[in-house]
Structure 1
């Protein structure tokens, strides 16, 4: 006994070396440093949303300048070069700096709560992903503030096709910043996605089996796999472009035996799954909102889950429908046309499941429900015009026309952004403990809905009438005057609607009505928690 006591005394007195500071458990900080150093999933989700909304407003302002230039023929509000930079940065900003990070905001804040996890699997990696995203966003936009003769903003369109982005035709460093910024955004996206995959698979609450997961969590999982599998393709393409521009390689340089069409294949192997990276989170949000405000369970839950996974799988089989006009040959064209038609099936299944959820329900037409129904309607319209492009002869006529612009805006604004606005309104009381004004919420919805359709529906006719994409002006005798004027008026109405929406959210954040938990009488796990 005496020997044991001496041993215990020696162990107690032994000095254990302290762990390195960078391995220490993170401690809470307050103020600005608390936000800059946080690893809390809710704060990181808030920061993703904050930065995404800032860039959403920047991208929207760029769009208004584009539409102002096209309002009347032979307009000179913008020069051709200014127009090129604006539409390049508008597309890049909206896709990589607005919609994707806003989806990540919901992934970070809502997903762990829905599965009963205390945090994501790797909190430090989560913080790394956030600040890598911010660094990439800064590099993408830094050209605006540098001398235009050597730098300037990127001007090669968001798709970055060589030779437009080659050193020969684009010698300034703007494209180099674009390449570096996208590389960092890719690193951030892959790191975050691996984190979400591990969290969903390994950190579910007891009894939370895979087939009991909320649909939003399932769509988070599918989206994360899409990012992990698709972003390496664009990473390879960006590295090759960087090597061509700075180290005299010839991956895309025709004069050296390169193939510009290789970029198109690599880009769209990433680019079409990217479409579903943008839309699947929206589908998950809609699948949470419709049951809550229909007062009945989601119709056909397993089918909704499996159709989402099927969309993710088929998303890798359709990339070359963006390239029907490049001369791939009849066999390849037919194969990708059939795959494009096939992917409409699981998408249509989801539409029928949502309609089945509404059918016979006790509908509550609150603001989130209005945005959700607007999503269903406009995503259907965008999908119908997308099916037209699966037919190669029709696509050959519509390729690079304003018909395509109308199509993808109906899918990405009428689809993704409407759903994200619905989700923001739906989970706002959970996030901040305050409820958004129902009156002003409805006003913002109807102004946005009307403005959106007035802006983009006429573009179908502009495209069928021959107006090409990426043109900075047009002749008054081409018959495009009225539709462009109407579309520009609609864009300003849409801008007013967005201003109302975000002004109301800002007011609510500071002075809105305080509410208790589960303000919507939801049934998923996050509503069992105290807010905010």
Structure 2
């Protein structure tokens, strides 16, 4: 009897895709590259920011070692200027922004009961554009001379003041790499800000009114709105600079009727509110973490919300305190001095809210709370030096000195970086299902905190004694040598703390204690 052969059925489209899909590591990499999931993109944002944090930290360490003692030649003068530019640009645009918006990507939909952000593909677009902008900044290293290629990097500072950034003074492509990098990074940030605003406005769970939003969501809503106001003027200024450099326009060429002061207005209209764009989400981290480890609800929720929105509003009118020495006149100087002092009021309200939450609570001094407590003290100190610099005559005396550098870094490291570490320890179990080691976490905290204060408390003193910023060496007879040496000694302590954190993360990803559903016994929706 003949056997009838039945032809095999044609594979379905799904089976064809599954058969041709990569497997193993390639499959995992493919899934992450093409993802539009808000949680994965949030993790990618944060990891990208942490990688750039290490790069920016290495650049800062090289500069600090060069300044440890008079007359050192570890870093040549030109390379020092380039490291200064790369460090500032990296820390502001490629560390702070990706990390805070990464946490926003991950947490905001979970906290408001949404399935994802409003525009998932726009979310992926924002990340990849930002990453490309960051990589573009370092393209200038390729084929360059100097310290590992840094001899060909941009050397105009992270603020690129005109007319220094004009082609007559900085020929070559390095400044163009800087300009395009920041411009493209800004496009990605604007896309993410639009996405967050749309998500918070339209995708809240039933019953999640504005009066019930978690504080972190309020902070992300505030900074997203600020981002839409401050980044377009900077992008416009960068396009003007490109036109100056490539097509002979004269927007910032004072010899042809342009104005270098216009660049400063455009840049600092972005630059100072940007500090609050970075810091206000840090306030949100603290507002979520302190109640959990105090076993109390946040003290004064309504005033915290009002203070957050007030900071965002007042911060838009403070930019020209960076320009007190430009010659704006007494009236404008007085206005911007007053607005700078005024922004300290809602910030002070927040300090009292956090202290009120801690007071009388059943405190559990786990690593996230330790970083929050250090933040409270350090940010208070940074705010006090900020009030000092808001007084125009005082600012005239210390403008472009290391006192200003110390104030700025006390805000961004003592404030932002400490709150980022607190958030990483707090939400790492949510993202990975495993706990970070408390023992290693406390080593990280104490090394980083002691090193930070050794470096940046001491740094104020050479500034008061007249040490200018942006110098690569200095004479031995100015009385700055011992102070700079002590300042530099804090750097290896901070570096060791960060190294312990990296080891903690790598170890805990595989061998960390299982976290469970709610290891901190928190009460927000995520």
Give the Cα–Cα distance (whole angstroms) in 2 for the partners of residues 506 and 386 of structure 1. 38
Q: Which residue of 2 aligns with 1:391?
A: 391
Matches within 5 A, 1:367-516: 367-516=367-516
Unaligned runs of 5+ in 2: 1-22
Give the Cα–Cα distance (whole angstroms) in 2 for the partners of residues 187 and 404 of structure 1. 30
Q: Which residue of 2 aligns with 1:95?
A: 92
Deviates more, 1:377-386 or 1:148-157: 148-157
Say yes or no: does 1:46 pair with 2:31: no
User: Post-superposition shift, 1:204?
Assistant: 0.6
Q: Which residue of 1 aligns with 2:192?
A: 192
Give the Cα–Cα distance (whole angstroms) in 1 for the partners of residues 330 and 96 of structure 2. 36
In structure 2, the residue corresponding to 1:478 is in which secondary structure? coil
Give the Cα–Cα distance (whole angstroms) in 1 for the partners of residues 201 and 180 of structure 2. 32
Q: Which residue of 1 aligns with 2:116?
A: 119
Q: Which residue of 2 aligns with 1:141?
A: 138
Q: Which residue of 2 aligns with 1:9?
A: none
Q: Which residue of 2 aligns with 1:530?
A: none
Q: Which residue of 1 aligns with 2:241?
A: 241
Give the Cα–Cα distance (whole angstroms) in 2 for the partners of residues 524 and 397 of structure 1. 48
User: Post-superposition shift, 1:146?
Assistant: 3.3
In structure 1, the residue corresponding to 2:154 is in which secondary structure? coil
Taking a change above 3 Å as real, the CA distance of residues 317 and 430 of structure 1, as seen in their structure-2 partners, is same
User: Post-superposition shift, 1:180?
Assistant: 0.5
Give the Cα–Cα distance (whole angstroms) in 2 for the partners of residues 340 and 50 of structure 1. 34
Give the Cα–Cα distance (whole angstroms) in 2 for the partners of residues 389 and 355 of structure 1. 26
User: Post-superposition shift, 1:148?
Assistant: 4.8
Give the Cα–Cα distance (whole angstroms) in 2 for the partners of residues 322 and 255 of structure 1. 24
Unaligned runs of 5+ in 1: 1-27, 527-532
Q: Tell me how large the CA RMSD over aligned residues is.
A: 1.4
Q: Which residue of 2 aligns with 1:327?
A: 327
Q: Which residue of 1 aligns with 2:276?
A: 276
Q: Which residue of 1 aligns with 2:313?
A: 313
In structure 1, the residue corresponding to 2:75 is in which secondary structure? coil
Give the Cα–Cα distance (whole angstroms) in 2 for the partners of residues 72 and 506 of structure 1. 36
Say yes or no: does 1:106 pair with 2:103: yes
Give the Cα–Cα distance (whole angstroms) in 2 for the partners of residues 373 and 493 of structure 1. 19
User: Post-superposition shift, 1:147?
Assistant: 3.5
With the length of structure 1 as denominator, give the TM-score of the two structures: 0.93
Give the Cα–Cα distance (whole angstroms) in 1 for the partners of residues 453 and 144 of structure 2. 39
Give the Cα–Cα distance (whole angstroms) in 2 for the partners of residues 268 and 99 of structure 1. 17
Give the Cα–Cα distance (whole angstroms) in 1 for the partners of residues 252 and 519 of structure 2. 56
Say yes or no: does 1:346 pair with 2:346: yes
Give the Cα–Cα distance (whole angstroms) in 2 for the partners of residues 430 and 81 of structure 1. 45
Give the Cα–Cα distance (whole angstroms) in 1 for the partners of residues 27 and 100 of structure 2. 26
Q: Which residue of 1 aligns with 2:260?
A: 260
In structure 1, the residue corresponding to 2:376 is in which secondary structure? helix
Give the Cα–Cα distance (whole angstroms) in 1 for the partners of residues 501 and 345 of structure 2. 34
Give the Cα–Cα distance (whole angstroms) in 1 for the partners of residues 28 and 216 of structure 2. 32
Give the Cα–Cα distance (whole angstroms) in 1 for the partners of residues 506 and 376 of structure 2. 27
User: Post-superposition shift, 1:385?
Assistant: 0.2
User: Post-superposition shift, 1:281?
Assistant: 0.5
Q: Which residue of 1 aligns with 2:211?
A: 211
Which of 31, 36, 53 is the equivalent residue of 1:56?
53
Give the Cα–Cα distance (whole angstroms) in 2 for the partners of residues 314 and 483 of structure 1. 36
Give the Cα–Cα distance (whole angstroms) in 1 for the partners of residues 200 and 27 of structure 2. 29
User: Post-superposition shift, 1:30?
Assistant: 3.9
Give the Cα–Cα distance (whole angstroms) in 2 for the partners of residues 102 and 503 of structure 1. 20
Give the Cα–Cα distance (whole angstroms) in 2 for the partners of residues 118 and 352 of structure 1. 35
